[in-house]
């Protein structure tokens, strides 16, 4: 048992790898080379389109104990991962690891296959039931949670070798050129899939929309794709992207957004060249709306919007408020439609977005990012993985990456959820270290990290409701009371890997 610099107890090893405790966001220096794979040769006339998934898997030589991956742009509408694992089971393979970019509630279908030992490990974070069952000790399947940048690093460095990558391809030709912008399952940016295409030992493109050669644009090139397979439906289009994403109408959410906007204004970053990222939640979009109005009013010409892209950011691009958008994942139909036709709406790989060990990720160029939280603590550490009941229910996404990269990371969260206070003495699980967090904004006030004294002074000068984070905690607990601590067993069900590959926390089984 080891302890990291945040005092979190960690096991000595996990999933057969030694655990390196987290120290701080900047101390790890990468060593070694990028991972590589075997040279290949495909001769003229040799087909790549095969009859079915089983044939493609056989040609890749997938065996017991190997690692597969999919990407999560189909989100909760994804049919591919379930289909692949069912096929693997059908072929009698066992002990397979999944290193997808994320797993969603729709993949609860895998639970029986995990119980039967077809899948024996998850090299990625999970959303939904699988994490919940593991947290309760009802399912055994070690999980290593990674941020988007951390996954790109782990795969490109060879820490997590992918034997076969299955790329959901909304539009694809018979030789493997593919894109995400066209076809009935179009989801827009291929963001997370690029790392897999470049580094997996074998790459299978799976499509429900085979187009005549050559597919254009070729976001992912034929040179990286070994086999092409047709599938009737990649997923449920209604669940892949939202038809629209909307600003919240909840007065509490709007109040949080108002305060968060005050923080952005006071930061001094809102000027020509401004770069910005928010999520697609209603409160985040309300902040985006406020920022847009300010940029319009003050005639500010920003540099770029980044991350998962919504129609709001598309509007800002089209209004000339940003020069470009860096898009790793489209959140709604408007974003999909925009990436199809707007040359300044750039498709961005997860590696370019957030890998800490390349020659410079886009997050490094961010001024301000707005992020959510299930909990924060008095040291500004943020939990985005587990809920206050200790259950592992959320993947990290770009949380830790953007917080580390941006000049200012603003956490927005309601001060209480379901009678539980959001500000805690110590978060249940650390996703993002307080060292990379600038301010915590709730509807009851703004807490500024001491690492940003100028911001705090400016907010006070503007008569914003700035409070010490412990004062904020006391005010919230005056309403909710102090919650009873959770009880955990010794068994580690998941590790939270920081973006640099060190371990920032361990998730243990919840007792009772």
Partner 1 sequence: MGHLHRGEEPDGVAPPPPAASALRRSLLYVPGNMPSMLQNIPIFAADAVIIDLEDAVPLGEKDAARRLVRRFLETYRERRQEVLVRINALDTPWGRDDLAAVLPALPDGIRLPKADTPEIVERLDTLLTEHEEALGVEIGRFRILPSIESALGVINCIDVAATSARILGLAFGAEDYTASMEIERTKTGEELFNARSRVVWAAKAAGVQAIDSIFSDVKDMEAFRREVELVKGLGYTGKSLVNPRQIEVCHDVFAPKAAEIEYALQVVDAIRRAREMGTGVISLGGKMVDAPVVKRALRVLRTAHAHGLVAAAPDEAVLHG
Q: Which of 334, 394, 399, 444 binds partner 1 (CB under 8 A)?
A: 444
State the minimum distance, in angstroms, from the CB of residue 416 to partner 1: 8
Which range binds partner 1 by CB under 8 A, 157-165, 244-252, 372-380, 403-411?
Answer: 244-252
Tokens matching residue 190: 């291929």
Rounded CA separation 310/188 (Å): 11
State the minimum distance, in angstroms, from the CB of residue 33 to partner 1: 54
The answer to whether 418 contacts partner 1 (rule: CB under 8 A) is no
Which range binds partner 1 by CB under 8 A, 65-73, 102-110, 251-259, 489-497?
Answer: 251-259
Nearest to partner 1 of 379, 443 (CB atom): 443
Tokens matching residue 96: 């397979």
State the minimum distance, in angstroms, from the CB of residue 442 to partner 1: 9
Rounded CA separation 361/373 (Å): 23
Compute the residue count for the chain.
512
Which range binds partner 1 by CB under 8 A, 20-28, 30-38, 229-237, 248-256?
Answer: 248-256
Q: Which of 36, 51, 243, 249 binds partner 1 (CB under 8 A)?
A: 249
- Contact of 496 with 396, CB cutoff 8 Å: yes
Rounded CA separation 420/44 (Å): 64
State the minimum distance, in angstroms, from the CB of residue 260 to partner 1: 14
The answer to whether 296 contacts partner 1 (rule: CB under 8 A) is no
Residue 392: strand pairing partners: 386
DSSP labels, 85-121? HHHHHHTT---EEE--S-B-GGGGGGHHHHHTTSEEE
Nearest to partner 1 of 255, 383 (CB atom): 255
- Contact of 177 with 222, CB cutoff 8 Å: yes
State the minimum distance, in angstroms, from the CB of residue 482 to partner 1: 16
By CB under 8 A, the count of residues binding partner 1 is 12
Nearest to partner 1 of 337, 477 (CB atom): 477
Which range binds partner 1 by CB under 8 A, 125-133, 214-222, 245-253, 487-495?
Answer: 245-253
The answer to whether 258 contacts partner 1 (rule: CB under 8 A) is yes
Residue 259 CA from chain centroid, whole number: 25
Q: Is 388 helix (H, G, I), strand (E, B) or coil?
A: coil
Which range binds partner 1 by CB under 8 A, 252-260, 305-313, 360-368, 421-429?
Answer: 252-260
- Contact of 232 with 208, CB cutoff 8 Å: yes
CB contact set of 423 (below 8 Å; sequence gap of 6+)? 375, 376, 377, 378, 415, 440, 442, 447, 469, 472, 473, 476
Strand order of the β-sheet with 423-424 is 382-383, 375-377, 423-424
- Contact of 369 with 349, CB cutoff 8 Å: no
Nearest to partner 1 of 117, 282 (CB atom): 282
- Contact of 235 with 80, CB cutoff 8 Å: yes
Which residue spans within 30-109 are E strands per DSSP?
A: 67-69, 96-98
Residue 492: strand pairing partners: 508
Rounded CA separation 147/52 (Å): 33
Please report, as residue ranges, which positions from 477 to 506 form the binding site for partner 1 (by CB under 8 A). Answer: 478-479
State the minimum distance, in angstroms, from the CB of residue 380 to partner 1: 21
The answer to whether 12 contacts partner 1 (rule: CB under 8 A) is no
State the minimum distance, in angstroms, from the CB of residue 415 to partner 1: 8
Q: Which of 252, 294, 435, 460 binds partner 1 (CB under 8 A)?
A: 252
- Residue span 461-480 as binding mask against partner 1, x where in contact by CB under 8 A, dash where not: -xx--------------xx-
State the minimum distance, in angstroms, from the CB of residue 240 to partner 1: 29
Query: Binding residues for partner 1, per CB under 8 A?
Result: 249, 251-252, 254-255, 258, 443-444, 462-463, 478-479
């Amino acid at each position: 048992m080891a302890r990291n610099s945040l005092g979190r107890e960690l096991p000595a090893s996990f999933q057969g790898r030694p655990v390196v405790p987290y120290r701080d966001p900047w101390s790890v220096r990468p060593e070694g080379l990028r991972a590589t794979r075997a040279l290949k040769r495909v001769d003229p006339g040799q087909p790549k389109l095969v009859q079915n998934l089983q044939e493609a898997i056989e040609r890749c030589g997938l065996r017991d104990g190997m690692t597969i991956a999919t990407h999560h742009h189909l989100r909760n509408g994804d049919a591919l991962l379930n289909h692949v694992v069912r096929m693997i089971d059908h072929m009698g393979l066992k002990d397979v690891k999944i290193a997808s970019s994320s797993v969603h509630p729709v993949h609860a279908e895998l639970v029986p296959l995990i119980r039967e030992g077809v899948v024996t490990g998850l090299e990625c974070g999970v959303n939904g039931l699988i994490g919940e069952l593991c947290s309760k000790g009802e399912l055994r399947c070690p999980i290593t949670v990674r941020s988007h940048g951390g996954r790109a690093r782990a795969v490109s460095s060879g820490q997590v070798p992918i034997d076969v990558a299955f790329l959901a391809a909304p539009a694809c030709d018979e030789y493997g050129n593919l894109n995400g912008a066209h076809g009935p399952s179009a989801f827009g940016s291929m963001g997370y899939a690029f790392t897999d295409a470049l580094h997996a030992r074998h790459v299978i493109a799976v499509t429900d929309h085979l187009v005549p050669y050559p597919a254009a644009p070729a976001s992912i090139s034929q040179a990286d794709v070994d086999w092409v397979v047709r599938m009737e439906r990649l997923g449920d289009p209604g669940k892949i992207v939202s038809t629209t994403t909307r600003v919240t109408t909840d007065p509490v959410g709007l109040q949080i957004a108002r305060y968060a906007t005050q923080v952005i204004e006071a930061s001094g970053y809102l000027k020509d060249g401004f770069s910005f990222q928010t999520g697609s939640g209603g409160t985040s979009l309300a902040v985006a709306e406020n920022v847009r109005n300010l940029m319009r009013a003050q005639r500010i010409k920003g540099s770029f919007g980044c991350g998962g892209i919504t129609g709001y950011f598309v509007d800002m691009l089209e209004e000339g408020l940003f020069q470009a958008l860096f898009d790793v994942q489209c959140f709604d139909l408007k974003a999909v439609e925009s990436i199809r036709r707007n040359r300044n709406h750039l498709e961005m790989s997860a590696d370019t977005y957030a890998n800490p060990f390349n020659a410079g990720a886009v997050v490094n160029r961010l001024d301000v990012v707005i992020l959510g939280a299930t909990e924060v603590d008095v040291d500004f550490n943020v939990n985005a993985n587990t809920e206050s009941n200790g259950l592992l229910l959320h993947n990290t996404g770009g949380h830790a990456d953007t917080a580390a990269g941006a000049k200012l990371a603003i956490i927005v969260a309601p001060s209480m959820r379901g009678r539980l206070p959001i500000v805690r003495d110590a978060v249940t699980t650390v996703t993002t270290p307080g060292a990379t967090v600038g301010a915590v904004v709730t509807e009851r006030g703004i807490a500024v990290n001491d690492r940003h004294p100028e911001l705090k002074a400016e907010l006070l000068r503007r008569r914003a409701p700035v409070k010490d984070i412990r004062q904020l905690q006391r005010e919230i607990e005056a309403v909710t009371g102090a919650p009873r601590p959770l009880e955990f067993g010794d068994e580690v069900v998941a590790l939270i890997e920081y973006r640099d590959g060190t371990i920032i926390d361990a998730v243990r089984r919840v007792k009772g």
